[in-house]
Structure 1
Amino acid sequence: MPYVTDAGLSEAFKYVGSAVLSDVLDETGFPSQVIKSGLLALGSSEAFCGPAVCVQGGARPFLQTQVPAGFFQGPYELTNIDTCDSVLVLSAQGFTSGALLGDRIAGRLKQNGCLGFITDGYARDSQALAEIGLPVRAAGLTPVNGGKRWAIFEKSITVTLPAQAGGVVKIRPGDFVLADQDGVVIVPKEHAQDLISMAEEYKLKEERLKENDGAVNLSDLTSHLRWLRT
């Protein structure tokens, strides 16, 4: 039976896990949907999944606390974006000169119902993030305040993050983002129902193979992969 809500799909994706999901994506023509490994797990190491809310920004040209009204939208503006029951995906556009997430922003996002935060930028306040409990995946940590050095340029657009297979992964608003201990996988929203059906069947077949591990031929160990290709 198809899942009728985003929450139902999200729980199903967490159940099958990123490894199974990556295999299914590979075999169904989506070979570059995994974000490059190396992101730090901060805040909470628990798996999370939900539809993406996408934001992109970059370095701003001067370092001042006060700027003309409306001229820049710094990282604190993230807390005014509707992220309830969603995963906030922030493309830093190569910015590594300061942190784009700290305890105050994370606390507000958590209060707003955000399911998790993923960025190729940096974070700070790691101890406070652990207490807040918002699941975060970030490229690194720095004590430098990025709020004076970086601004939001665009919202609700397709963004890109580095891909494990090289190049980039495209993430569109509404695409499903699954993050667990193995990594971060992006599921195209229009294929989510079909992919979760295959992933659940794939996981079941894999579990049956494990149960019968001593009684199967080596050729049978890839039968669940061959099934995906038919």
Structure 2
Amino acid sequence: MVSFTAEQRNDIRTRYQRVDTSNVADVLDTLGYMDQGLSPDFLPYPHTAGRIAGWAYTIRGQMTPYELGGDAEKMKACQGLSEGDISVWSGDGHGICYFGELIAIGMKERGCLGALVDGGVRDVRWIGAQNFPVYARYRTPVQSIGRWKVTGCQVPVYMRGATTPLVQVNPGDFILADEDGAIVIPQAVVEQVLAEAEALTQKEETIRAELQKGLTLAEALAEYGHV
């Protein structure tokens, strides 16, 4: 497991905010990580949420009936979040939300920058008012209490994938999501992927500028190659 200082974590996160998931996906392909994209079912809530970029803090749960009155394990798990984290929620929830406005506020207070939810979210309007971006598979008014419980945190979890049924997310992996979707960057290659994605981004910006000046697409491809 790679260890980063707080300063390194913040620098890496800030730089990832300036690259697109599409370029990150292309770099991961060249490195042999072909199945890191998440299902297209993951959408921003609200739709104006914008991108998320941060370190994966994983939370796992499962459907199980129990008495109303809250989920102490969920609250305990959220206490572990820290600055720069993205809370990654996994489990077998069907038709229920994993969290709503109040938990989102608590996560934000701890420095959490957003959430990636392989399940449902509610209180979308109010979460949006908190400027707390969420990418989830669906929204629903139905609460998890009495139906779904947290069973662990900071453990490897699985999320629905784009090119494979499931993508493993480990604590400390990097999460990036934008208009094109969501992707997981394994911690072991997070710096290499970032550097190569930045170089690809710069190359694309150069091509766009040349096209604006009148260079044809065929000429651009001949000069700069495939991008």
Q: TM-score, normalised by structure 2?
A: 0.86
Deviation at 1:184, TM superposition (A): 1.0
- For 2:84, the aligned partner's letter is D
Residue 50 (structure 1) aligned with residue 48 (structure 2): no
Q: Which ranges of structure 2 fall in alignment gaps of 5 or more residues? A: none
Deviation at 1:221, TM superposition (A): 7.2
Deviation at 1:81, TM superposition (A): 2.4
- 3-state SS of 2:17 partner: helix
Deviation at 1:36, TM superposition (A): 0.8
Q: Where does residue 96 of structure 1 map in the other structure? A: 94
RMSD between superposed Cα atoms in Å: 2.2
Q: TM-score, normalised by structure 1?
A: 0.85
- For 1:87, the aligned partner's letter is I
- 3-state SS of 2:61 partner: strand
Q: Where does residue 111 of structure 2 map in the other structure? A: 113
With over 3 angstroms needed to count, the CA separation of the structure-2 counterparts of 1:23 and 1:125, relative to structure 1, is same
Q: Where does residue 6 of structure 1 map in the other structure? A: 9
Deviation at 1:218, TM superposition (A): 6.7
With over 3 angstroms needed to count, the CA separation of the structure-2 counterparts of 1:79 and 1:155, relative to structure 1, is closer
Shifted more, 136-145 versus 73-82: the winner is 73-82
Number of positions where the alignment pairs a residue of Structure 1 with one of Structure 2: 217
Deviation at 1:31, TM superposition (A): 1.1
Q: Distance in 2 between matches of 1:221 and 1:63?
A: 64
Q: Distance in 2 between matches of 1:221 and 1:107?
A: 50
Deviation at 1:212, TM superposition (A): 2.7
- 3-state SS of 1:82 partner: coil
Q: Where does residue 140 of structure 1 map in the other structure? A: 138
Q: Distance in 2 between matches of 1:179 and 1:14?
A: 9
Instruction: Provide Cα deviations, 1:18-74, integer angstroms capped at 9, x if missing partner.
Output: 1111111112211111111122312561222111111111011x241159xxxx645
Identify which of 60, 63, 79 aligns with 1:59. Answer: 63
Deviation at 1:210, TM superposition (A): 2.4
Contact 1:35 1:161 (C-alpha < 8 Å) held by counterparts? yes
- For 1:220, the aligned partner's letter is A
Contact 1:202 1:224 (C-alpha < 8 Å) held by counterparts? no
Q: Where does residue 182 of structure 1 map in the other structure? A: 180
With over 3 angstroms needed to count, the CA separation of the structure-2 counterparts of 1:66 and 1:196, relative to structure 1, is closer
Q: Distance in 2 between matches of 1:127 and 1:159?
A: 28
Contact 1:74 1:148 (C-alpha < 8 Å) held by counterparts? no
Contact 1:45 1:180 (C-alpha < 8 Å) held by counterparts? no
